[in-house]
Structure 1
């Protein structure tokens, strides 16, 4: 995800990092060249290149803008929902750590290190959720937070974050059986674990229930057809400036089409997706501070951007 400081307006005009321009630049060049071909062909072969009625393009452009707005809203809703769920993950993981640290009694047989095992399960859950959402299979970074037995069993599970939540729930149940917490406190702690489960389910819903593919097909086809026939509608109106104007119009439509496709998958690894790695690192650092564990490396953005 790109995180930027406030910049001068002229700097914003030429920023490349985080812009979709690098994705659509070849298409824009093709449209620019095609527009010049239409321009020269029209004046050399006026009987072959026939101008179209520009009024039709205005109607189609308005309809296309409305449809683009609808798809953009649907895509941003998914991005916003993912952002809210990961914000909730930060809140409830810390609340759970506070409860474990302060409400579970220590004794010579149950030391601070025993409580740190449960804190590590919370951190492992966050990292495994990140990996599940991004379909990653490298779990070495999680090994340090799990016992060898739990780690080996976790590798055999399909839904690894759910397995870790189950282990955390069993750990809390053991504390209640051993008399370190009462049933009221167990219920309060279970509420936070339930919230983590809700976050897991909500993120899985975002991943597995995508925007219907037919929307992207219609949008993509309409945008590209419109941009490639637009030169025929403007050739007699703005003459030699037509290729520049067509390319600018194409940029607005094609760029928004690319943005919709990008933010519709908020858990991806593109520059404008959610910074899941940074959020996981922040949770690990925060929970380690709370439980007096060695502090892990903290991912901090530089003054311009951070990519996660």
Structure 2
């Protein structure tokens, strides 16, 4: 038999260690720059190699005496300041989406905790079935976060969600397209039932409904981020400019750098393509990539918080 308390404590310790280790790794400067797991290097390496090879070809042609490949007239073909501003705008826009997603999830977690506490403390459970309904409602609150995570990732019902949803609801949940909204409906239906049976007064009903509305608003905000990507025209034009800029560099510097030209061009293309790739990496923060939000950890913390709350006696709070 598993000891749930020990499992919970291990999860808490593990989460604490993971957070501590993450901050410690980020403070270790030399170790961080050599870390490839969350780096954009694997994604941009083919483009950097392409630019290196092209620059090597230009250097070879120049070494053969074909001086026409040195074209000073290409200086300023793609103004550096213009490309820089476009890249900065691209990265800032992507980070705004990432940070907005984090704020929405923080609000969702905070509101879920408040809603669970409100239900557990406020709604009386004089009969065993009343306590059972409250436990079911609290699990549905945790299920809402898990269902939101799966919805944003376009994933189907998994074991994590099955463990939180009452068995009698599973078939209906699997049949609907928007599972978080279905869970929100079940919670609202529970509030209405408690109000109709006199275990909630109107002010409590309004407060519970307002908290549930905030959770649904957070879901809508995440959907807005997910379904409103950066306009394709902007992305295409930025990539075209970045590639044109990097491929024009060898013509501009080969007469001065000669065989050093490929290395110089590689360095510049690494910087340009790297900044552009960062924007791509973080613009959708809800996936499974290393740079995405830790939604699995957030949902696990949410479940632990609700489990701890259910271990408390409302009469002694």
1:11 equivalent to 2:31? Answer yes
Whole-Å separation in 1 of the counterparts to 2:59 and 2:207: 71
RMSD over equivalenced CA pairs, Å? 1.9
Where in structure 2 are the equivalents of 1:1-308 lying within 5 Å?
Answer: 3-5=22-24, 6-53=26-73, 55-56=75-76, 60-292=79-311
Match of 2:5 in 1: none
Whole-Å separation in 2 of the counterparts to 1:246 and 1:9: 25
Match of 2:14 in 1: none
Match of 2:13 in 1: none
Kindly indicate whether the alpha-carbon contact (under 8 Å) linking 1:124 and 1:164 is maintained by their aligned counterparts in 2: yes
Superposition deviation, residue 110 in structure 1: 4.0
Superposition deviation, residue 7 in structure 1: 3.4
Question: What SS does structure 1 have at the residue aligned with 2:75?
Answer: helix
Whole-Å separation in 1 of the counterparts to 2:33 and 2:257: 25
**CA 1:55–1:27 in structure 2 vs 1: closer, same or farther (change >3 Å)?**
closer
Whole-Å separation in 1 of the counterparts to 2:193 and 2:28: 58
Kindly indicate whether the alpha-carbon contact (under 8 Å) linking 1:54 and 1:234 is maintained by their aligned counterparts in 2: no
Whole-Å separation in 2 of the counterparts to 1:73 and 1:53: 32
Superposition deviation, residue 158 in structure 1: 1.1
Runs (5+) with no aligned partner, structure 2: 1-17, 313-317
TM-score (norm 1): 0.89
Superposition deviation, residue 37 in structure 1: 1.7
Question: What SS does structure 2 have at the residue aligned with 1:266?
Answer: coil
Q: How many pairs does the alignment contain?
A: 292
Match of 1:304 in 2: none
Question: What SS does structure 1 have at the residue aligned with 2:76?
Answer: helix
Question: What SS does structure 2 have at the residue aligned with 1:17?
Answer: coil
Superposition deviation, residue 206 in structure 1: 1.1
Kindly indicate whether the alpha-carbon contact (under 8 Å) linking 1:134 and 1:267 is maintained by their aligned counterparts in 2: yes
| Greater Cα shift, 103-112 or 152-161 | 103-112
Runs (5+) with no aligned partner, structure 1: 294-308
TM-score (norm 2): 0.87
Whole-Å separation in 2 of the counterparts to 1:26 and 1:131: 32
Superposition deviation, residue 54 in structure 1: 5.9
Question: What SS does structure 2 have at the residue aligned with 1:27?
Answer: helix
Question: What SS does structure 1 have at the residue aligned with 2:72?
Answer: coil
**CA 1:154–1:138 in structure 2 vs 1: closer, same or farther (change >3 Å)?**
closer
Match of 1:300 in 2: none
After superposition, what is the alpha-carbon deviation per residue over 1:137-186, rounded to whole angstroms, capped at 9, x for unaligned? 14332112112221111111111100100100000111111111211111
After superposition, what is the alpha-carbon deviation per residue over 1:60-105, rounded to whole angstroms, capped at 9, x for unaligned? 2211010111111211111111111000011000000110110011
| Greater Cα shift, 94-103 or 1-10 | 1-10
Higher fraction of helix: 2
After superposition, what is the alpha-carbon deviation per residue over 1:206-257, rounded to whole angstroms, capped at 9, x for unaligned? 1112111111101111111211221111112333322222111111110111
